[in-house]
Amino acid sequence: MNPVINNILALEGGYVNNPADKGGATKWGITENTARSHGYRGDMRDLTRDQAYAILEQDYWITPGFSQIAQYSEKLAFELCDAGTNVGPAWPSRWLQRWLNALNCQATKYADLAVDGKIGHQTLQALERYLSYRGHEGEEVLLKGLNSSQGAYYLDITEKRASNETFIYGWIKNRVVL
């Protein structure tokens, strides 16, 4: 069992269906839409942990490439997967690419990346070079950058949709960890 997915399941917890949440009925962090796209037809209250685990692992760990990030940093991989579970995996992928671009010493350490939200060879190579150059301290700085972007994202969507004020305190408290 993947500890990243297990930790996310523990954070997400059980069933919720808050009318202010655009995601609708959700269990273990899996929205009804996502569950249905995986063939689940039951009541969301009955979605099992194992079913949610399989969906999280496929859609928020393997497919976006966060599993490959774990080769270089489990902390970064967890942060990306956790944020991806909450806001969709393309956003944290873009944040990573933007931060890697900003931290590459004007492209002297590695080439700028296309900010396309896809973790591929170039993003992995840039991350490897960045971590090689900056080490553990660089990993912590990149984590702070990712969390800064995530916090800014939550503020932006809350300013655009007032009902998100219901959730922003918890998002910052539980998701933006410095």
Residues 6 or more apart whose CB falls under 8 angstroms from that of 81 comprise 4, 5, 8, 56, 60, 61, 64, 66, 89
Domain boundaries of the chain, sorted by first residue: 1-63, 73-178
One-letter amino acid at 59 equals D
Nearest in space to 76 (alpha carbons), one of 93, 59, 55:
93
**Ramachandran angles phi, psi of 24, nearest 5°:** 70, -150
124-144 pLDDT, tens digit each: 999 999 999 999 999 999 999
Task: Report pTM.
Answer: 0.94
39-97 pLDDT, tens digit each: 999 999 999 999 999 999 999 999 999 999 999 999 999 999 999 999 999 999 999 99
SS3 category, 21 = coil
CATH code for the part of the protein at 1-63: 1.20.141.10
One-letter amino acid at 163 equals S
